Structures are given as C-alpha cells and as structure tokens.
Chain A
Amino acid sequence: MAKKKTAPATVGENAIELQETAGLSQGQIVRRRFFRHRAAMVSLVSLLFIVIFVFSASGLRFGSDRNAATTPGWWPYTITDLSKMSSKHCEEGIVGCPTLDLIPAFIDGTPMNIGKHPFGQDDIGRDYFALVMRGAEQSIQIMIIIGAIGALLGTVIGSISGFFRGWVDAVLMRLTDFIITIPTLIIGAVIGFRVGNLGVTLLGVFLGLFAWTGLSRLVRGEFLSLREREFVDAARVAGASNTRIIFKHILPNAVGVIIVSVTLLMSGAILLETGLSYLGFGVVAPDVSLGSLISQYQTSFSVRPWLFWWPGLLIVSIALCINFIGDGLRDAFDPRQKRRITKRDLVKADNASKDS
C-alpha cells in the first residue's frame, strides 16, 4: 500500500514542507507546530484553567506561615472553617458527602446542582473543596519551582560538562554523582525538622536544588554525541566561538531532549511532593497539599470515597496536562519531525505545485 503512493507522496511532502516553512523564522515554525498539536493545546488550555481556578478559589498566599501575604479568593470557606455536617443526598448513615451533581435532571431525576459543599466535607466538617483547592495550590507552586530550578541547573551543568569534557566534565559529573546519592527523603526530613513548616516556596527551592541530576546526565550525553557531529566541525572550521557553537548549534538540537525531560521533571515533581507529603515529610499539618490529603484519608476509602478521589484526580489531571504539553513541545522543536500528512494536505500541495 505504501509503495504505490511513494512517488506522488514525496512530491507532496516536499511541497508541503516548502509551503509550511517559507519565510518563517525558527520560532514561528515551532509555535505553529505547537499550536497545531491538538492534545497539547487542549492540555495547555486545561492546565491554565486549572491553575487559574485553583489559585483564584482560595486566594493567593506567599511566604511562610507566620508572615504570609494573602489575597482573598472567591470561595466562601477556608481550610480552617468548621461547618455543620450536612447529610442531604447522602446514603443512609453517611454525612458530609459531595453536593455536586453534574448530571442534568432528565437523566437521573435530580437537577444539576453545585450546592454548599460540592466536594463534600471531611470527617470533622471542613469544606473539602477549600481543602483540595489549597492543596492543589501548594502542589502546583512546588512543582513550578522545582521544575524551573531543576531545568536551569540541569541544562547548564549538563551542557558545560558535555561540551568541554576533560576535567570540567569529571568534576561536574562527580558533583552530580554526589547529589544523586543524597536521597530526597532526607532533604525533606531535614528541612521539615530543622526549619519547621517553612511554606512551600522554600521546600520547593530545596527540592529543586537536588532535582537536576537526571536532566544534567541526559543533556551531557546529548552534548557528548552532538559535539562529534559534522555540523559542529563545520561551524568550528568556519570560526565560530564556543559560545556560539553551544547556543546556536548544539543547544537547539538538544532542546527536544531538554524539554521532554523538564516536563517529566515537573510531572515528577508534583508526584515527588505528593509522595513526600504522603510519608509525612513534605507539607505538614495544619497546612495541606494534594499528597497529604490522600495520605490522611486513604483509610476512609470505603466509607467516604470522595475524600480520596478529588485530590487524586487533580494530581492526575495536572500531571497529565504537563506531559501532553511536553509531548507537543517536543514535536514542535524537533527539526526532523514530519507531520502526519493528510489527504487534504496532498490535494493542497498538488494544487500549489500545479500553480507554480
């Protein structure tokens, strides 16, 4: 089947590529490709929505516990408000179940309804929506901080050691090995014990300082193999400086690897934070994060499943969105990437080549 099509398809592909890239800068091509990646765009929009929704619900909050700067949010309850347990719509003997009902009346007989406690209440009557929003806010903050610090450190260290090799490489890689050997749990525990509940900003910074190792090894590997390629020799013969070779020739080729691992790092970061909080070393009571919520309520799964589902679903959707965005970016950055050619493209390209 593929054989028959080969001849016209090649003509078509070339025409499409020419048509697509004519008169566009690198950045424009990347942007275009990214915007065309449907899954990535959907994820980007959903992630933005989640972030704005979460941060506006409970209000912003910076700094440590003692001196926090806060702005008000639109949700009436906070994580410390205790309200009366409501048992409306609940099954026999259970209180505090979610009042959220997204199924319209013509299907299940009850009208769509948000209610007083859309995500239900926890065992002492706190509003679970407020708790989940607060937890998500914390988790997202930590994720962004870890991702930014890790990406910066990992790329710089990896590219320097991969490009210069020799003793620079040896020193930096030993440093990487050194950091790899220090378990993240110890960092979390030490921070938790020594400085108490610092707030998520510092926790994120500390974790970020130890999260770059995997990325730096990958970047180094990429640089090691790219610097031996012909185009780098060509650039060097043409008189390009080291800086120019690194930034203009090698880094653009390695950027796919970097971006993919940064997105993995970020989705890993949110899982790391939740894991730490789950074990009791990350965000600690009275403050909450998505991980600590799950950890706190996992035993109540059979009685109050909503306490388990909401934070989990939020973690999964955030991490999923980031992964898809990373996938879209990788496809967009990859200069060798060929887009899937549809029949419509072929027709369009045929017409274009006939015209010219």
Chain B
Amino acid sequence: MLFVILLGSSFLIYNLTAIASDPLEELRISSDPNAKQQILVLIRSLHLDVPPPLRYFSWLQGVLNAFTGHFSLGFTRSHESVAAVIGHAIPVSIRLVLGATILAIVLGITIGIVTALRQYSRFDYSMTFLSFLFFSLPIFWVAVLLKEYLAIGFNDFLYEPVVSTPWLIGLSVFAGLFWASILGGNRAQVWLRFGVAFAANAVVLFTLSETHWFTQPSLGPIVVFAMSVGVAFATTHISVGISSRRVLFGSLSVSVVGLAAYFPLQSLFTKHFSNKTLLILFLGALLVGAAIGFFATKVDRGPAIRTTSIVAFLTFGIIYVDRLMRTWQGYSETDAVNYRPVPTVGESNSLLEPGNYWFTTLDNALHLFLPTIALTIISFAGYVRFSRGSVLEVLNQDYIRTARAKGLTERTVIMRHAFRNALIPLTTIIAADIAGVIGGAIITERVFGWVGMGTLFNKAIGGQDLNLLMGVFFVTSSLALLANLVADLLYSALDPRIRIGK
C-alpha cells in the first residue's frame, strides 16, 4: 500500500516538476558560443528528448534495480551520482537536527507536564506566553538574532569575561522567579525559594566570573560527584519515589562508583580517543548501573535497574562533558579559532588541524550550538502546548480520581497513571516530526550554511535538477510514510480502545 502511494506521488511530482521547469533555460539565453553544444550534451545525458511521463519510468527502473543490486537514482546535472550526493547529505542533516529534536521533546514534555500540574499559576501563564511567542517566531528571524546577540555578543564577552553587576542581578532575579514559580507554595515559601535561588545564582555567577571560569571552564571531580548525587536523587524520585531506600542506595552507589572511575577515566581520555570507545564506555556505564541496581534490591528489580542505569548513563555523561569543557581553553587559543569560539555559520571549522579528538568534538558541538538553540526554540513550543493539553485532559478523567482515592502517592498518580496516557496523542506528533526533520530543515540549513538534505532540495529546485530533486524526495517521503505507519501502529498498541478497520 505504502509502495503504491510512493509510486503515485513520485510520478506526480516527476511530471509536475518536469513540466514546471526548463533545465536548458540558462543555456538558451547564454551567449557562450559553446551553448548549443552543451545543450545537446545535456539533452543526451538527461534524456530530455523523452517526454516526462516516459522518462519517469527510466528513473523508476533505476530505483527498482535495487532488487538486482544496481540501485541508482540517476545523475545530477554535473554528472555526480545522486545516491552518493544524498549519502553525504543525510548524516549532516541528522547531525543538525537530532540534538535539537531530542532536546525539544524532552524539554517540551517536561515543561508541558509541569504547567499542567500548576495550571493557572504564574509559571503556567509565563510558560504559555513564552511558548506562544516561540511558536510565532520565523526561524530565519530567530537565527539572525541569535547570531547577532548570542554568538557575537558572547564572543565579545569572552574578551573580558566579567559578569557586570546589572547582568548579575538580572540573571539572579530571573533564576529566583523561575524556581519560585516552578515550585509554588504559599506566599512565605515563595519568598523563601525566591531568596534562596537568587542568592545561590548570584554567588555562583560571581564566583565563576571572579575565577575567570568562562575562559577555562571545568567541573572537577567534586562538582561532578555533587551533580551525580543530584541526578541520583532526582532520577530516583521521578522513577520509583524517594521512599524506596534500596533504590536510592543503589543510585547513590552509582554516583560513588562514578567518582571512583573519574581518575582512571581521565587516562583513557587521550588525544586519540574515538567515538567507538565512547560508545563502548557508555554501554559499560549502563551495564555497571544495571548490575548495581540488580544487587541493591531483592524484589521488584526492573524499576531499580532502570533507575540505576539512567543514573550511571547520566553520570558518565557528566564526566565526559567535564573533559570536553577542559578542552575549551586550548581550543579557543588555537589559531583557527582565535579567541572567538562560538561560530555563526558552517558545519565545522576547516582551518582546525585534525588529529585531536577533543578539539574536533568541541568544534562540532560548538557549530551545532546556534542551530540547535534555534530549532529547539521553534519546535519546543508545540510540545509544551500539546503535552500540557493532553495531561490536563487526562487529569480530569475518572481513573485519576480513583487512583487518588486509592491513596496512591501523587508521584505514582502522575507518572504511572496520567503521564503514560497523556503520551499517547503525542506519539503521532513525534513520529511526524522526526520524519520531517530529515528533510525539513531547509531554512535552518540555509541560514546557518550547512549542506544537508535541505540545501540539496533547494539547489535542485533552484537549479532545475530533476534527478536530484527526485532523489531527495524519494528519501524524505519514504521516511515520512514510514513514520506515519509507525505512529499508527504505536497508537493502536498504546491505546487498546482504538480499533482500526473491522
């Protein structure tokens, strides 16, 4: 069925664009004496003398030859294999949007749930306003603003990395308001929380600024351990509840193991570190976490293993980020970077000498910085609104009242009863988003100068390159159909009340 749809729409698009474009246009009006010759060559190589509906079948033949092992998407106007060109572009596109998509989903759903739980609070109102604002921003507009104020502004700040007093007070007031409104409570509690958050933020910022932390950032084993303990408490609280002492004990042991592994890991983190090793280490961390969870509990081991694995994963992540942060100073001192570490365009700094894993990784990460923020801002608003709406809807249902009446804790009611059911309508959106993401970041790629699928698409339309266009279309539409199929299956698997067909 899906196959038929692809066939139909590819046929339609092939003909539409073939009719709507004239690949010879440029050459016809050119005054080059060789133009006639070039037109003939182009006609021969692209089979332009064959009418489009028939030409479509020769294109289709190339695709169908996948079964005989001679898969081909044809050639571009400059005689490159379309499949190869797209093969280069896909990883770039994925790299560009993957982080932003995950970040938007996680942040959006979290904030959506919190606003639903604190409906009509100040936090809810401000988040509603913010998400509507973000939803209304054109990405190219945001991108220009980010480049101007975030990248260039931050680079200028790094010349003299001292947080001025107005900024210090402003940021601290913001932090105070944020935490006070998110935690809620009565008036005295709100003021107390505001005060604590304000003071903590001010002290931390002041210390960071005075110690020139911004030019040589690092966490160090103590902060890494403290963060890991924080992660352990938070994860345990959300995952199984802080009252299960054994799981909490397991998570805290993971943090201790993390601290113990901190120094041995540093010797592994050399210049010749590779992503393969990184993957192995992450898997190792998961295994260690699972083992600790297994031995920490005697009954009901599943949730315990889940919790400790998450803690181990995050702890290792923090250690890795710490190492990356300590690369910062050396990185910004290289000639290629020249003390302006936040880039505004491009996928990577081509002047940077290869060979140092940490420099390259940091460079890639920094080039992702602005696009990721821009894409997250744009797509996160949708998730906030949808998850807020669906959590509110679920919280009004009778089974939530039943769950509360049974005497379950608020955490269990929210995480086990409300959250899971609220996720069902979100699957559709997430699936569609992930598919759209591969071919969808056309404007973002253009603004930030990345050469991914979006750029190819744009180039194909602008340069009237039919084969290239069809290649891009083939990949993106297959992905979109696949995602829709997955969403349908997930939808009926998650909600047994839904019947599709008879």
Contact = CB atoms under 8 A, between A and B. Distances in A.
Interface string A7-47: 00000000000000000000000000000000000000000
B135 interface: yes
Contacts of A320: 132-133, 136
B132 A336 contact: no
A183 B476 contact: yes
Given A165-B502, A186-B13, A180 B484 contact: yes
A181 B128 contact: no
B19 A194 contact: yes
B27 interface: no
Contacts of A186: 13, 16-17, 461, 469, 473
A317 B132 CA distance: 10
A279 B446 contact: yes
Interface string A267-284: 100010011001111000
B258 to A, nearest CB: 39
Contact of A189 (B4, B20, B136, B499): B20
B370 interface: no
A42 to B, nearest CB: 12
Interface in A206-248: 214, 217-218, 221, 224-225, 228
Contact of A281 (B5, B432, B439, B461): B461
A312 B5 contact: no
Interface stretch (B102-110, B269-277, B490-498): B490-498
A181 B461 contact: no
Contact of B480 (A1, A181, A302, A327): A181
B144 A315 contact: no
Given A180-B480, A267-B135, A275-B140, A185 B457 contact: yes
Nearest to B135: A323
Interface residues of B, number: 58
Interface in B1-60: 1-2, 4-6, 8-9, 12-13, 16-17, 19-21
A69 interface: no
A178 interface: yes
Interface string B439-477: 100110010000000000110011000000100010011
Nearest to B12: A182
Contacts of A275: 138-140, 443
Nearest to B487: A217
B148 interface: yes
Given A193-B20, A275-B140, A319-B135, A185 B12 contact: no
A351 interface: no
B395 to A, nearest CB: 10
B137 interface: yes
A321 to B, nearest CB: 9
A278 B138 contact: yes
A190 B138 contact: no
A308 interface: yes
Interface string A125-165: 00000000000000000000000000000000000000001
B299 interface: no
Nearest to B10: A181
B346 interface: no
A298 B432 contact: no
Contacts of B502: 165-166
A218 B13 CA distance: 26
Nearest to A273: B138
B461 A271 contact: no
B120 interface: yes
B389 A165 contact: no
Contacts of B495: 225
B428 A221 contact: yes
A294 B138 contact: yes
Interface string A312-337: 10011111100110010010000010
B491 A294 contact: no
Contacts of B5: 174, 177-178, 181
Interface in B164-219: 186
A221 B425 contact: yes
B481 interface: yes
B481 A181 contact: yes
Nearest to B137: A316
B425 A174 contact: no
B355 interface: no
B497 A225 contact: yes
Contacts of A181: 5-6, 9, 473, 477, 480-481
A165 B501 contact: yes
Nearest to B461: A189
Contacts of A178: 5, 8-9
Contact of A228 (B144, B442, B481, B497): B497
A256 to B, nearest CB: 9
Contacts of B481: 177, 180-181
A316 B136 contact: yes
A78 interface: no
Contacts of A281: 461
Interface in A276-318: 278-281, 291, 294-295, 298, 301-302, 308, 312, 315-318
Contacts of B491: 221
Given A178-B5, A189-B461, A275-B140, A165 B500 contact: yes
A250 interface: no
Contact of A323 (B136, B446, B497): B136
Nearest to A312: B141
Interface in A99-125: none
Nearest to B2: A177
Contacts of A1: 186
B396 interface: yes
Contacts of B382: 264
B132 A327 contact: yes
B494 to A, nearest CB: 12
Contacts of B1: 174
Contact of B428 (A218, A324, A327): A218
Contacts of A324: 132
Contacts of B20: 189-190, 193-194
A323 B382 CA distance: 11
B396 A185 contact: no
A6 to B, nearest CB: 12
Contact of B136 (A280, A308, A315): A315
Nearest to A274: B138
B6 A291 contact: no
13 contacts: A177-B5, A177-B484, A180-B480, A181-B9, A182-B13, A228-B498, A260-B385, A271-B138, A275-B443, A280-B462, A312-B141, A316-B137, A316-B141
Give me the 4 closest cross-chain CB pairs, A-B, nearest first.
Answer: A319-B136, A181-B477, A190-B20, A323-B132
Interface of B: 1-2, 4-6, 8-9, 12-13, 16-17, 19-21, 120, 128, 132-133, 135-141, 144, 148, 186, 382, 385, 389, 396, 425, 428, 432, 439, 442-443, 446, 457-458, 461-462, 469, 473, 476-477, 480-481, 484, 491, 495, 497-502
